[in-house]
Amino acid sequence: MQRGIFPAVRGLGVYVAAAAVLFVGLLSSQQLRAGDQSRAKELIKNSCASCHRFEGKPDSRFKLRAPDLMWAGSKYQRSWLIGWLTGKEAPLYAKGYRWDLSQEETKHPVVSESDASSLADYFDKHYKDRRVKVGAFDVSKVTAMEVEFGRGAYKAHACIGCHVIEENGKIVGGPQSASLVESGRRYNMDWLFRFGQNPQDFNPHSGEFLADATEPQLRAVIGFLAVQGVKDFKYYEPWTSKEFQNASVDRGKLIYKEYCSQCHGATGKGDGPAASGLEPKPAVHANMAFDKLPMEYLYNVVNHGGRAVGKSTSMPYWNLTIGQQGVADVIAYLKATFKGGAAEAAAAAPATGGPSGVCPQPRKTQQAPDEFLAKNNPLPASAEHVQAGKKLFMETAKPLACMNCHGTKGDGNGPAAMGLMPPPRNFTCGATMKDLPDGQLFWVIKNGSPGTGMMPFSGLPDDEVWQLIHYLRTLAK
């Protein structure tokens, strides 16, 4: 049956294209548009409505032949829609929309470029969904961190059980519902946001899974979907916003006193009244060189809390309490106040268990499980791998490049080092490093050292961890 429609639709398209060429000189653009409209209407009636519904209430997909299109004017990005209608997009339902019916593999009907364009205009005009608030989800404000949260929530809410996405070049997930591989190019995000608020308003067979998500979680999941299939997505960097341009050290000082000093201490020495009960201890801000730390990290740890950067959950998230302006102000205060100079570092040495650079270095780190201790670096110690490890160490490792704590020389004297108890490992210290097998290093990098400032780098692929280890081994003297 579909085979019948296919050539018919295409044939009509050619006919109309030829007619349009003939009449183009005679018709005003207004009339042309009116012509497009009736053409689209006719197409819908004759070529689409046999499968798709354009009106009615949401109904069980098991009573439908194809996805509902009564909100088609709000749901898609125009370029995707035209690509879909002209047969350039990948199928959405790997097992067929009605996987419950055994059906031969079918191809979607294809229309000409100009018909697709007329249909898109027609949808835009007649099938807008009034429940969808324009501007409800601002794609230009999606941050890299939010996308990471979204990835976590996507997995935690079992989305991956029914929808496929692409991960490291592979398609993963259950294929029985709409593919989300290209969702960033496919959906209008305002529609997606409204869908997420109550999916049952669109499809009775979906959405239970989002029901217990909070609005920030929903936004994060949509942020995650907004980047799927989009090359070079431009992430928002909140620390470039006007709140940061207008940040005030004085206001930040007040915030520090009211919200931070209870743990970090009135003068940033980590000795606030709440500190004694915490493990790991609040960072000793007085010893940290804040102006040398990347803004992305400072923003994430203050705005989203310790957990977001793999640190202790005792470091709260401040966004909801002090807002963007408050976060900007308190960071401005940290940078203006705490510079972590050599004098402060020396003065703090007793509190932090010895200056970071000492060798041999006192070490209480937990031992890795046996299966890790038995591991050996599977990569050759080639210049290429060492160089790749160095780049991760110095610049790219997320949530925070190693050198910020371990120092550019690897001696444990990075700008954040002096605020940490115990201090970061001194990789230049051969006497300490020679007793640490590769598997131990691997395990700590992946899992962090609980109760210390060493956060887990669980997002790093194994190979990159091994490259880092090759680099660390070059530092020991």
Minimal distance in Å, beta carbon 315 to ligand HEC? 3
Q: Give the binding range for ligand HEC (CB under 6 A) out of 20-28, 77-85, 140-148, 336-344.
A: 77-85
Q: Which is nearer to ligand HEC, 67 or 430 (CB)?
A: 67
Q: Among 70, 132, 283, 289, which residue sits at the site for ligand HEC (rule: CB under 6 A)?
A: 283
Minimal distance in Å, beta carbon 25 to ligand HEC? 28
Q: Give the binding range for ligand HEC (CB under 6 A) out of 24-32, 273-281, 338-346, 370-378.
A: 273-281
Three-state secondary structure readout of the chain: CHHHHHHHHHHHHHHHHHHHHHHCCCCCHHHHHHHHHHHHHHHHHHHHCCCCCCCCCCCCHHHCCCCCCCCHHHHECHHHHHHHHCCCCCCCCCCCCCCCCCCCCCCCCCCCHHHHHHHHHHHHHHCCCCCCCCCCCCHHHCCHHHHHHHHHHHHHCCHHHCCCEEECCEEECCCCCCCCCCHHHHECHHHHHHHHHCHHHCCCCCCHHHCCCCHHHHHHHHHHHHHCCCCCCCCCCHHHCHHHHCCCHHHHHHHHHHHHHHHHCCCCCCCCCCHHHCCCCCCCHHHCCHHHCCHHHHHHHHHCCHHHHCCCCCCCCCHHHHHHHHHHHHHHHHHHHCCCCHHHHHHHCCCCCCCCCCCCCCCCCCCCCHHHHCCCCCCCCCHHHHHHHHHHHHHHCCCCCCHHHHCCCCCCCCCCHHHCCCCCCCCCCHHHHCCCCHHHHHHHHHHCCCCCCCCCCCCCCHHHHHHHHHHHHHHCC
Q: Which is nearer to ligand HEC, 81 or 247 (CB)?
A: 81
54 binds ligand HEC (CB under 6 A): no
Is residue 376 within 8 A of residue 440, CB to CB? The reply is no
| The CA-based dihedral angle spanning residues 108, 111, 115, 121, taken in that order and rounded to the nearest 10 degrees | 20
Q: Give the binding range for ligand HEC (CB under 6 A) out of 14-22, 47-55, 140-148, 336-344.
A: 47-55
406 binds ligand HEC (CB under 6 A): yes
Cα–Cα distance, 92 to 164 (Å, whole number): 10
Minimal distance in Å, beta carbon 313 to ligand HEC? 8
209 binds ligand HEC (CB under 6 A): yes
381 binds ligand HEC (CB under 6 A): no
Q: Among 318, 338, 372, 466, which residue sits at the site for ligand HEC (rule: CB under 6 A)?
A: 318
345 binds ligand HEC (CB under 6 A): no
Q: What are phi and psi of 311, to 5 degrees?
A: -100, -175
Minimal distance in Å, beta carbon 427 to ligand HEC? 7
Minimal distance in Å, beta carbon 36 to ligand HEC? 14
Minimal distance in Å, beta carbon 257 to ligand HEC? 10
397 binds ligand HEC (CB under 6 A): yes
Q: Among 13, 109, 238, 340, which residue sits at the site for ligand HEC (rule: CB under 6 A)?
A: 109
Minimal distance in Å, beta carbon 416 to ligand HEC? 5
Q: Among 118, 203, 287, 303, which residue sits at the site for ligand HEC (rule: CB under 6 A)?
A: 203
Cα–Cα distance, 187 to 190 (Å, whole number): 8
Query: Of the candidates 324, 361, 347, which has an alpha carbon nearest to the alpha carbon of residue 268?
Result: 347
Q: Give the binding range for ligand HEC (CB under 6 A) out of 133-141, 226-234, 241-249, 297-305.
A: 297-305
Q: Which is nearer to ligand HEC, 143 or 469 (CB)?
A: 469
Site for ligand HEC in 407-466 (CB under 6 A): 416, 419-420, 422, 424-425, 436, 440-441, 444-445, 449, 452-455, 457
CB atoms within 10 A of CB 124: 15
61 binds ligand HEC (CB under 6 A): yes
Site for ligand HEC in 131-190 (CB under 6 A): 157-159, 161-163, 177-178
Is residue 48 within 8 A of residue 69, CB to CB? The reply is yes
Q: Which is nearer to ligand HEC, 30 or 59 (CB)?
A: 59
Q: How many residues bind ligand HEC (CB under 6 A)?
A: 89
Minimal distance in Å, beta carbon 137 to ligand HEC? 12
Q: Which is nearer to ligand HEC, 28 or 203 (CB)?
A: 203
Q: Which is nearer to ligand HEC, 237 or 395 (CB)?
A: 395
Q: Which is nearer to ligand HEC, 22 or 446 (CB)?
A: 446
Q: Give the binding range for ligand HEC (CB under 6 A) out of 129-137, 140-148, 338-346, 403-411.
A: 403-411
Q: Which two tokens stand for residue 119?
A: 């249909």
Q: What's the distance, Cα to Cα, between the start and end of the chain in Å?
A: 76
CB atoms within 10 A of CB 396: 12
Minimal distance in Å, beta carbon 289 to ligand HEC? 11
87 binds ligand HEC (CB under 6 A): no
43 binds ligand HEC (CB under 6 A): yes
Q: Which is nearer to ligand HEC, 30 or 345 (CB)?
A: 345
10 binds ligand HEC (CB under 6 A): no
